[in-house]
């Protein structure tokens, strides 16, 4: 019963559509109708600006962290990384937004924050450096995911390697169209950095 409760709560936490709620609540805009049509932080930055994008990024990170720490409140024997990956699935397929969610970059980062804070800091630094150089959020997300896999292998933490590989796989798959646009030179670059 506790196992099922943690699974359901982790999914529901991940399903909170931060971008949709911020957009509709404060800007009277459904961000799914603008930009990439995605519910994630990147499209929020693009459609609503830096302030809203920053807030959604923080909220999405905290979703992953909250879900990862959830077992500590109910059953510490429940694998915390499993709770985290369930939140990532909730972010990608949110019940509160017609199962059309974001690409799970920030929520995946939040899982790392809950499980391995130093790794989270290093992955964020990697993301920022690549973003500063390339101006592509999508490329920065993919490279940060690959860096996270490499770092987890260095740590020799098998559960972390498995979960980080899954999360990075989700990120890469969700960015397939971005990869094509980068190759074609049509992927939009950020203008605020």
DSSP per residue over 19-51, as a string? HHHHHHHHHS--GGGSTT---SHHHHHHHH-HH
Could you give the CA distance from residue 46 to residue 187 in angstroms, rounded to a whole number?
13
H-state helical runs in the chain: 2-14, 18-27, 41-48, 50-74, 80-92, 105-115, 117-134, 137-155, 158-174, 176-184
Reported confidence tier of residue 193, pLDDT bands at 50, 70, 90? confident
Count of all residues that appear for the chain in the document: 193
Higher pLDDT, 36 or 90: 90
Mean pLDDT of the chain: 94
Higher pLDDT, 133 or 39: 133
Predicted confidence (pLDDT) at residue 50 exceeds the cutoff of 80: yes
> In this predicted structure, what is the pLDDT of residue 42?
87
> In this predicted structure, what is the pLDDT of residue 72?
95
Could you give the CA distance from residue 95 to residue 14 in angstroms, rounded to a whole number?
9
The pLDDT > 90 percentage for the chain reads 83
- Lowest mean pLDDT: which of 82-86, 88-92, 154-158, 186-190? 186-190
């Amino acid at each position: 019963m506790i196992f099922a409760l943690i699974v359901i709560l982790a999914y529901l936490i991940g399903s909170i559509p931060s971008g949709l709620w911020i957009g509709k609540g404060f800007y009277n805009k459904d961000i799914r109708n603008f930009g990439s049509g995605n519910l994630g932080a990147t499209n929020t930055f693009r459609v609503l600006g830096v302030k809203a994008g920053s807030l959604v990024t923080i909220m999405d990170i905290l979703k992953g962290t909250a879900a990862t720490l959830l077992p500590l409140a109910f059953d510490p024997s429940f694998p915390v990384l499993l709770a985290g990956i369930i939140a990532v699935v909730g972010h990608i397929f949110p019940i509160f937004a017609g199962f059309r969610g974001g690409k799970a970059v920030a929520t995946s980062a939040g899982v790392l924050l809950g499980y391995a804070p130093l790794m989270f800091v290093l992955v964020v630094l990697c993301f920022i450096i690549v973003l500063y150089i390339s101006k592509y959020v999508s490329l920065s997300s993919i490279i940060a995911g690959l860096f996270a896999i490499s770092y987890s292998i260095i740590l020799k933490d098998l559960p972390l390697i498995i979960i980080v590989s899954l999360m990075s796989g989700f990120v890469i798959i969700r960015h397939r169209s971005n990869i094509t646009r980068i190759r074609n030179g049509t992927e939009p670059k950020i203008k605020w950095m």
